[in-house]
Structure 1
Amino acid sequence: MRYDLRALARARGIRRKGIAFRPIEPTAALAALLSGPAQEIVTLVEAEVREMLLPVYTSRPVITQDDAATAISSALAAVGNTIRRLVVGVGFTTRRWAAKVEEWHRPRFAANVKAGTGADVVAYLHAPDAEDQVAAASRWAASLIQGLTDDLRKEVESLTWAAYANQTPRDELAKQLQARVGVALGRAEFIARDQTTKIAAKLDELRAQEAGLGSYKWRHSGKVHFRPEHLAREGKIFRWDTPPADGHPGTQPNCGCRAQAYLDLSE
């Protein structure tokens, strides 16, 4: 605990049993800081496939010649090299994204505390205190993006060689590759949205515990496709030190639930 919010609230004459602060909802703009660069990598790979691989593949009406196989191998190697070059800077990108989320989250937590108690806690909140969360989120996101691009490379190779073996027409292979690119773009968007929710959830926990807040209210995401057990927790109070079996809000894949910081003045 960095500071005692309960004591600050009582010093201001607040005698209510408990105060639930507004939940902090991560924005689409924050997720875009991660999805944008990830999708750009996929788009550049798509361009490499279109400009380098497909022309080689379609250079002969019937794809049976050894020199065609050699040319395809070279083009696939070029695609792989492009992917490796593009992902070199992923760590820097994810680090910047995670730091931006923390920078965005900090004043919003302070504003929520101010609105609920009148206490100004800005001086107690510092970016270095969240370094572990920022670093962990950055590395996790970078790993997922690297996995995404590696999977894309493998799929491009697999689809291309299967098409070569089956003498699949160029247009059909192009459609198959385009569909795979679409999957990768969607996956990049999901990773960004999910990881942004997760780092925001970890920051919720960190800032609450810094303030000495041991509890939170579960706020359901309101999503169409929801976990029934999460909906059943709506409005209920949980403790940070005793999480539910599947974790705190926002920690499960695609979980948009939030932890509403709760100041229990009865303790």
Structure 2
Amino acid sequence: MPHSSVAPTTKPVTLVAVRPNQGVEAAYRRRLVRLIDLMQASLGYWLRACYRANKPELAGDGASNVAQDASPAMTLRRTIVKLARRWQRRFDEISPTLAQQFAGSAMGRADAAFQSSLSRAGFAVDFRLTREANDALQATIGENVGLIRSIAAEHLADVEGAVMRSVQPGRDLGGLTDELRERYALTRKRAAFIARDQNSKATATVVRVRQEGLGITEAIWMHSHGGRHPRPSHRGADGKRYTINEGMYLDGVWTRPGSEPNCGCVSRSVIPGLGNTR
């Protein structure tokens, strides 16, 4: 296909939309959740062991409490700090590998889907890792490295806070366990959101880079028609044409499908017909 893409007829050709691959999202989510599960199991095991070893002092037995004897509380604090360092290091070390696996899969699936869309319209294209495509790949990897590390940082900070709050009033292990379970559920939800949101962003970025590389200048916004609280502006943009290098002006900003948090919108590339190029 030439740099400035033109349909072989006088009528423009609108390609099928490239949507985020659900298998890529599911695989990424499983990897993140598996790591979170391992962290939670480790935290729960060691905190229970430490709590039970110091149960009379930590839970309060009427004869002593944390205010009078801070040693059990300090032991618990040292335990959670040690665990937090260990698991943050684990997330830090594994994040580049997980991010590369995800970004590579997302880009590969997006390229394959775009090639298929072009092929249906009669265009044969062999995508290569251009400088622009590699820049997009590296940006996706970098963003996801930071997000993976933040999963551990936020979870561990919340767990440490829960442990310290549990020690101060002399609560029993059951109260702490309930709070940790709630925090664990929220962290798993955040991991699922990251997998879904990043998959949409990565796909949208790859599609835009390939569109621009092929000289495709316009596309049609396609609303996802999903989610409990869709953005009215995105829903209103459904079916409208926009310039790819600018995006569409919605809610006071220039944006593109799939670029905003939790946006599942996609685009349909428009290839102008003979005599309709601009």
Equivalent in the alignment of 2:85 = 81
Cα-to-partner distance string for 1:198-238 (whole Å, 9 max, x where unaligned): 01001111111111110000000101320000111111000
CA distance in 1, matches of 2:95, 2:246: 35
Q: CA deviation at 1:3?
A: 2.5
For the residue of structure 1 that corresponds to 2:255, the secondary structure is coil
Q: Percent identity?
A: 21
**2:100, 2:141 within 8 Å by CA — same for their partners in 1?**
yes
Residue 67 of structure 1 corresponds to 71
Task: Sort the Cα spacing of 1:31 and 1:2 in 2 relative to 1 into closer, same or farther, 3 A.
Answer: farther
* Residue 259 of structure 1 pairs with residue 261 of structure 2: no
**Displacement after TM superposition at 1:128 (Å):** 4.0
- Corresponding residue for 2:184? 181
1:264 deviates by 2.1
**Whole-angstrom CA distance in 1 between matches of 2:158 and 2:190:** 14
Q: Which residue of 2 aligns with 1:127?
A: 129
Q: What letter matches 2:5 in structure 1?
A: L
Report matched runs for 1:225-236 at 5 Å: 225-236=229-240
1:41 CA drift (Å) = 2.1
Equivalent residues in 2 for 1:1-267, closer than 5 Å: 3-6=3-6, 9-10=7-8, 14-16=9-11, 18-59=12-53, 60-63=55-58, 64=66, 65-87=69-91, 88-116=93-121, 118-122=122-126, 125-129=127-131, 130-223=133-226, 224-243=228-247, 244=249, 245-265=253-273, 266-267=276-277
| TM-score (norm: length of structure 2) | 0.88
Contact between 1:23 and 1:260, CA under 8 Å: does it hold in 2? yes
Kindly tell me the number of residue pairs found equivalent between the two proteins: 258
User: 1:246: how far off?
Assistant: 4.3
SS of alignment partner, residue 267 of structure 2? strand
Q: How many angstroms apart in 1 are the aligned matches of 2:105 and 2:71?
A: 50
Asked if the contact 2:222/2:268 (under 8 Å) is kept, the reply is yes
Offset at residue 61 of structure 1 (A): 2.9
Aligned counterparts of 1:203 and 1:252: Cα–Cα separation in 2: 15
Letter in 2 for 1:4: S
CA RMSD of aligned residues (A): 1.6
Compute the TM-score of the two structures, normalised by the length of structure 1.
0.91
Unaligned runs of 5+ in 1: none
Task: Show the counterpart of 2:62.
Answer: none
Give the SS at the match of 2:115. helix
Contact 2:201 2:259 in 1 (8 A): yes
Give the Cα–Cα distance (whole angstroms) in 2 for the partners of residues 2 and 171 of structure 1: 67
- Give 1 or 2: higher helix fraction: 1
CA distance in 1, matches of 2:230, 2:163: 38
